[in-house]
Chain A
Amino acid sequence: MTEQTIYELSQPGRKGFAFPEPDVPSTPLPQEFERESVRLPELSELDVIRHFTNLSHLNHSVDGGFYPLGSCTMKYNPKINEAVARLPGLANTHPLQPIVSVQGNLYLMYQLQEWLQEISGFDKVCLTPAAGAQGELVGALIIKKYHQDNNDPKRVKILIPDSAHGTNPATSSMSGFDVVPLPSDARGNVDLEALKTHCDDTLAGLMLTNPNTLGLFDEHVEQVVQLVHSAGGLVYGDGANLNALLGIIRPGDVGFDIMHFNLHKTFSTPHGGGGPGSGPVGVTQALADYLPGPIVTIIEDGDEENPPFYGFYTPEKTIGRMKAFYGHFGMLVRAYTYIAMHGPEGLRDIGEKAVLNANYLMKKVSEDYYLPYDRTCMHEFVVEGAWKDIPGVHALDIAKRLMDYGFHPPTNYFPLVVHEALMIEPTETESKQTLDAFAAAMKAIAKEAREDPEMLNKAPYTTPLRRCDEVKAARDLVFCCWVPEE
């Protein structure tokens, strides 16, 4: 099942959209800059709609089926979010309008800052970062500037557990730090002894994902934080897995200094086929002055009759601007709506059900798959997608075969600390029936692996395409489609 490209569908002279004729006198173009034409496709509106509708049918999505992609929190995206983000009064505001004309936007952003602070236990939140990775960059640059301002430039080392997402080390080196990997102990926690050996006066900080990518809550998290603090370092929390902690514990209370939120994971803003994300950052009071701007604040207090008047400020020692304007406002509207609908009880319900679902599914799946860290998990868990006595079957085969059963595969080959990893995150919005069906498919695949391993090597069979040749793509580089000559 394939779809032609927009250029293949193009017919010379066909039109899909017309603008009104000019209503002003004509001014000639500057000839030296004029281009002849842009080779864009020529299609009718129906051609375009049918093309993209057909393409959409080739995707697996949360709306279409279970999507247990570990560490991505593929929960249901409520439809009301989409409706309110499109309200013309919000969607059609220009970012440079006078602030008096956008007090609604600023109120919403201010409330969201306050709510994220309350949920996480941090003192100040900045909404601008465009995605989690950019939130991490904010954090790393804050750590850097903080030590510089304390005349402590020899702190060049960032510790990163070996189970961390790739963005953590990438961010650290992008910020000019030396990255030192930290091993995990046998229970999947940060190895305290290894940590101690690095706690010296060159330590800038630690980036810690908790629960970590094994889905495990670090049993010594308070000790870890304390060790880093007493060595003069700061602790950055990767908030990728915050879903498990909603209403359960606040990272700020545990002593983390900085953390980013992934609004597209925890707070239900849609993943959009890869983005946009949104990665606000929270910090302690001591670091609030380093945040990037602009941040919303109350410029004039309100009274019984008038609401407060909101405006922007940029902190004094700021690390600088991260992007144009104020962050992914459309995503902020969705996250605001989601939190407003949940309240304290609803948020705790999310954390609890995410963890309940993961533990239930872990117990079911581990009947047939090896669970390297066998203890209560948080929102996700990792099993090995291979068996010692079936050398021909790999995690990739299991992942691909799951598609034939109608499921999106789990994250595979990550985290790196587990051999042939399959990382499964069901999220709280999935029902027991869905989890049972997925567990049954995993069981059936384990059986197939024993009975017909070669069959698994060729899976999937029922998807729009069979296994794709990634080596060819990387060797014969083709990044653009055929375009008809003029």
Chain B
Amino acid sequence: MYTPHTPQEIEEMLSFIGVKSIEALFEKVPAKHRFPQLDLPAGLTEMEVAAELNEIASANASTDDFISFLGAGAYNHYIPAAVDMILQRGEFYTAYTPYQPEVSQGTLQSIFEFQSLMTELTGMDVSNASHYDGATAAAEAANLAYHTFRGKRKKILVSRSVNPQYRETIRTYMNGMENVSVLGDEIENSETFESFMDLIDKDTAVVVVQYPDFFGRIIDYTKLVEKAHEAGALVTYVFNPTALGLLKPPGAFDADIAVADGQPLGIPLSYGGPYLGIFTVKDKYVRKLAGRLVGETVDEEGTRAYVLTLTAREQHIRREKSTSNICTNQGLMALAATVYLSLLGKSGFKQVANLCYQKAHYAAEQISKLPGFELAFPDTPFFHEFVIKTPKPVNEINLHLEHHWILGGYDLSQDYPEMENHMLIAVTEKISREDIDDFVAALEEVTHD
């Protein structure tokens, strides 16, 4: 479809090469398997494929059709039009990793600016050029900690109120390491964290907590950080970037590593990906950092320039001795976050965080007034997500809500068996007061059935 060769050019090229036919170029390919008949539908024209994709899309109902109160790791925020306009520039999206700095300053400087914005946001010292997503960033944080102690500390402690999918991903990544145990799931979920903190010892490489946690709660981990540092262990914060528009950053709590999914920063929901893994550390871990890193330098004439740096950490140089195999970053998604934060700026970013906070609190208050509904953690502050105890199973309620074109919250019993009838509700700036009132009214109907 996109091959430009005319029959005459093909002839000229073959004759220059000195073969009779294109088939002759494949003589080394085992004959019995050569040129298989692929059982695929015949190729479509662009017009036909556009129609087909439209049809596929129309078989979905999206967050444009629903009022959505779903969060649990992916958030329905407004994306300013300018963000995607920049992303659609071919100079950005059809370039590759900026190996040649002389012709890649656009990508390099925007990553450098991304790194700068991430360190401002988190209060950490250094950000890399990004990882795949929040879950893999958390897994790479565990990996970094493991290698910091050269494999001598064998315990990775992960709070049970860290996103369940992140916990699973950390476990998968740690499968490759010898005798590493990932602990924390067996500890009952509580607000004090005392029994979780009791697990911290001299064999602990890292303690992973989430802020706000998976249930939306804003928890003060100061004591946990102190205890971990006393034991010589690292602390990783998994954070929500929007929340940092209002809340003290992980750096202010002495976190060693802070990771997040950057999807809320101008990246569409896109059914779960591609998203953006934010990965930031204290200075002293920069050489253990996996993934690409852009540094400032000068060119031969002394002009400011940006290059990929500390590449000797990476797989293409260190091969089996590198601590991670990561190769790509999420370049274009990092660009989206950079444009988003540049555009919102200091005031806009605070505004969006505040809108999420205010609307979520209004929703929580209204829902908890309904008979049979109550906040699961009434004494703990929260950001834009909260847990409601419901009078009926969450899936039943959500079925009812779907008839009102409302996407209800996440059913926590899927991951926490003890949390039957617990719904995790997320509210963003896109939800209006009227939407919340409709949601509350629809929930009220449930109690009447």
Kindly supply a per-residue 1/0 record for chain B positions 333-353, scoring 1 wherever the CB is within 8 Å of any chain A CB and 0 otherwise. Answer: 101001101111111111110
Q: Is the CB of A176 within 8 A of B345?
A: no
User: A479 vs B114: C-alpha distance in the bound complex, in angstroms?
Assistant: 10
Answer whether residue A102 sits at the interface, using C-beta atoms and an 8 A cutoff: yes
Q: Is the CB of A39 within 8 A of B120?
A: yes
Our pick among A170, A341, A477 for the contact of B44 (Cβ within 8 Å) is: A341
User: A319 vs B169: C-alpha distance in the bound complex, in angstroms?
Assistant: 10
Q: Is the CB of A5 within 8 A of B175?
A: no
Given A19-B351, A24-B359, A270-B93: A167 touches B105 (CB 8 Å cut-off): no
Binds A, one of B196-204, B228-236, B323-331, B368-376: B323-331
User: A222 vs B264: C-alpha distance in the bound complex, in angstroms?
Assistant: 48
Expressed in whole angstroms, the minimum distance between the Cβ of A363 and any Cβ of chain B is 5
Q: Which of B245, B249, B325, B329 has the most CB of A within 10 A?
A: B325
User: A435 vs B49: C-alpha distance in the bound complex, in angstroms?
Assistant: 30
Q: Is the CB of A115 within 8 A of B40?
A: yes
Q: Is the CB of B82 within 8 A of A89?
A: no
Our pick among A24, A59, A76, A464 for the contact of B92 (Cβ within 8 Å) is: A59
Expressed in whole angstroms, the minimum distance between the Cβ of B213 and any Cβ of chain A is 13
Q: Is the CB of A169 within 8 A of B320?
A: yes
Q: Is the CB of A465 within 8 A of B305?
A: yes
Answer whether residue B112 sits at the interface, using C-beta atoms and an 8 A cutoff: yes
Complex interface: chain B residues within 8 A of A16 (CB):
342-345, 348
Complex interface: chain A residues within 8 A of B329 (CB):
274-275
Given A141-B172, A274-B331, A324-B73: A356 touches B398 (CB 8 Å cut-off): no
Complex interface: chain A residues within 8 A of B318 (CB):
166, 170
Nearest B residue (CB) for A254: B33
Kindly supply a per-residue 1/0 record for chain B positions 426-449, scoring 1 wherever the CB is within 8 Å of any chain A CB and 0 otherwise. Answer: 000100110010000000000000
Q: Is the CB of A87 within 8 A of B100?
A: no
Q: Is the CB of B133 within 8 A of A323?
A: yes
Q: Is the CB of B352 within 8 A of A19?
A: yes
User: A130 vs B326: C-alpha distance in the bound complex, in angstroms?
Assistant: 10
Complex interface: chain B residues within 8 A of A470 (CB):
297, 307, 309
Residues of A172-191 contacting chain B, CB below 8 A:
172-176, 179
Answer whether residue B224 sits at the interface, using C-beta atoms and an 8 A cutoff: no
Query: What's the interface size class on B, roughly?
Result: 35 or more
Q: Is the CB of A35 within 8 A of B100?
A: no
Binds A, one of B22-30, B153-161, B183-191: B22-30
Kindly supply a per-residue 1/0 record for chain B positions 160-199, scoring 1 wherever the CB is within 8 Å of any chain A CB and 0 otherwise. Answer: 0001011011011101111000000000000000000000
Q: Which of A32, A103, A165, A322 has the most CB of B within 10 A?
A: A322
Expressed in whole angstroms, the minimum distance between the Cβ of A459 and any Cβ of chain B is 9
Nearest B residue (CB) for A222: B30
Complex interface: chain B residues within 8 A of A324 (CB):
73-74, 133-135, 163, 165-166, 169, 261, 272-273, 275
Expressed in whole angstroms, the minimum distance between the Cβ of B150 and any Cβ of chain A is 14
Binds B, one of A298-306, A325-333, A381-389, A440-448: A325-333
Q: Is the CB of B94 within 8 A of A271?
A: yes
Kindly supply a per-residue 1/0 record for chain A positions 2-23, scoring 1 wherever the CB is within 8 Å of any chain B CB and 0 otherwise. Answer: 1101110010001111111011
Binds B, one of A193-201, A244-252, A280-288: A244-252
User: A121 vs B88: C-alpha distance in the bound complex, in angstroms?
Assistant: 35
Q: Is the CB of A58 within 8 A of B106?
A: yes
Answer whether residue B107 sits at the interface, using C-beta atoms and an 8 A cutoff: yes
Answer whether residue A205 sits at the interface, using C-beta atoms and an 8 A cutoff: no
Q: Is the CB of A61 within 8 A of B90?
A: yes
Kindly supply a per-residue 1/0 record for chain A positions 106-136, scoring 1 wherever the CB is within 8 Å of any chain B CB and 0 otherwise. Answer: 0110000001001101000000001111101
Complex interface: chain B residues within 8 A of A145 (CB):
175
Residues of B356-391 contacting chain A, CB below 8 A:
357-359, 361-362, 365, 381
Q: Is the CB of A343 within 8 A of B358?
A: no
User: A247 vs B38: C-alpha distance in the bound complex, in angstroms?
Assistant: 7
User: A421 vs B315: C-alpha distance in the bound complex, in angstroms?
Assistant: 18
User: A82 vs B88: C-alpha distance in the bound complex, in angstroms?
Assistant: 8
Given A15-B347, A170-B318: A458 touches B126 (CB 8 Å cut-off): no
Complex interface: chain B residues within 8 A of A419 (CB):
none
Q: Is the CB of A95 within 8 A of B269?
A: yes
Complex interface: chain A residues within 8 A of B63 (CB):
92-94
Given A27-B358, A432-B13: A76 touches B2 (CB 8 Å cut-off): yes
Answer whether residue A86 sits at the interface, using C-beta atoms and an 8 A cutoff: yes
Kindly supply a per-residue 1/0 record for chain B positions 1-20, scoring 1 wherever the CB is within 8 Å of any chain A CB and 0 otherwise. Answer: 11111000110111011110
Q: Is the CB of B57 within 8 A of A34?
A: no
Q: Is the CB of B303 within 8 A of A466?
A: yes
User: A476 vs B85: C-alpha distance in the bound complex, in angstroms?
Assistant: 35
User: A56 vs B362: C-alpha distance in the bound complex, in angstroms?
Assistant: 43
Expressed in whole angstroms, the minimum distance between the Cβ of B214 and any Cβ of chain A is 12
Kindly supply a per-residue 1/0 record for chain A positions 231-255, scoring 1 wherever the CB is within 8 Å of any chain B CB and 0 otherwise. Answer: 0000000000000000111100110
Residue contacts A-B, CB under 8 angstroms, 29 given: A3-B109, A19-B429, A24-B436, A27-B358, A40-B341, A45-B82, A52-B335, A59-B92, A60-B95, A91-B269, A92-B63, A93-B270, A94-B269, A94-B271, A133-B326, A140-B176, A247-B35, A323-B135, A324-B134, A324-B275, A330-B268, A341-B43, A341-B46, A356-B10, A359-B17, A428-B2, A429-B4, A458-B300, A480-B126
